[in-house]
Amino acid sequence: MIENSDGQEKTLSITEALREAARDLASLSMTARLDSELLMAYSLGIERDSLLLGAWGDKAAPPAFFEAVKRRKKNEPIAYILGYRDFWTLRLTVTPDVLIPRPDSETLIETAITYFREHQFQPEKILDLGTGSGALLLAALDEWKEAQGLAVDASPAALKIARLNAEKCGLLPRADFKIGHWGQEIEQKFDLLLCNPPYISRDAMMPADVLHYEPHLALFGGEDGLSDYREVIPEIPSLLTERGIACLEIGFDQAETVSLIAKETGLKSQIFCDIEQRPRCILLNRQ
């Protein structure tokens, strides 16, 4: 229910509520209608597809929908309101303790799949540095059914979410979790190393929903956005098997500088683009 111009409450149908919410959210979201549909489906306890295919007639919108819209109007990300984000083949729990997984990051999984297919072997040991929600590791474990994985993060709260996601996805028996700073104190070697380090420069302009809600530890990579690459990349040679590779996410304008860091470490690099043809993944292996 909402208040009309006389200050009295009125009941809106689902159709009316969606229309008004999309109009109200248009000033802060480029996907206002989609946001409204996701929030309505969430409030009804159904999937968006069911909402779009349903015949709702004049059925009243649930009060929970208006509360969810209020949260979105304060720039809270949709994923945090819903409590989940779909990534690769998985539905992952997300909270403000972890970065929201984005489709761009799926480029790392796609790149690894192509590489191992072309080289006709499959990774048996997978490492995810800075795992956050566990998105990259769990997507990889879901792809390679015989592989074992290790997720590392400096945040105990993030590792708790990653472990929860592994359990929900039925992957916990094949995943281990470790508190740590990048590759320090890891003695194992891996066929595939995945990492989405913080790569946003300190003074970069950020959308309000990202800046005010997502964890800064997972976003900002120092003054130039490259601080964590300078730490992680020199560790990579000691973490890979002879045929192993590392796939790291990069900012769209960082391909040249990150490639130079890799070259100075003695690693060969290749750049792969995301669905919008922006540089997004750097694949590293031995010279």
Max Cα distance, the chain (Å): 73
- Which residue reads 């104190």 in tokens? 185
What gap in Å lies between CA 244 and CA 257, rounded to an integer?
22
Residue 1: predicted pLDDT: 46
Helix, strand, coil abundance in the chain, percent, nearest 5: 40, 20, 35
pTM passes above 0.85: yes
- Rg (C-alpha) for the chain, rounded Å, is 21
pLDDT of residue 7: 42
CA distance 266 to 72: 46
pLDDT of residue 3: 43
The answer to whether 254 touches 279, Cβ cutoff 8 Å, is yes
Distance separating alpha carbons of residues 260 and 256, to the nearest angstrom: 6
Contact 35, 72 (CB under 8 A): yes
| Runs of H (alpha helix) within 90-226 | 106-118, 135-143, 156-168, 208-211
| H or E segment and range at residue 18 | helix 14-25
Contact present, 132 and 111 (Cβ < 8 Å): no
pLDDT at 55: 86
Dist CA 261 CA 263 (whole Å) = 6
80 is written with which tokens?
A: 């945090």
Judge contact between 284 and 246, C-beta under 8 A: yes
- pLDDT one digit per residue (tens) for the chain, 287 residues: 444 334 445 689 999 999 999 999 999 999 999 999 999 999 999 999 999 998 887 899 999 999 999 999 999 999 999 999 999 999 999 999 999 999 999 999 999 999 999 999 999 999 999 999 999 999 999 999 999 999 999 999 999 999 999 999 999 999 999 999 999 999 999 999 999 999 999 888 888 888 899 999 898 899 999 999 999 999 999 999 999 999 999 999 999 999 999 999 999 999 999 999 999 999 999 86
Position 224 scores a pLDDT of 93
Q: How far apart are CA 125 and CA 38, in angstroms?
A: 37
pLDDT at 9: 52
- Secondary structure of residue 286 in the 3-state scheme: strand
Domains of the chain: 2-74 (1.10.8), 88-286 (3.40.50.150)
Query: How do residues 82-120 score in pLDDT, each as one tens digit?
Result: 999 999 999 999 999 999 999 999 999 999 999 999 999
Q: Is 176 exposed, middle or buried (0-12, 13-18, 19+ CB in 10 A)?
A: middle
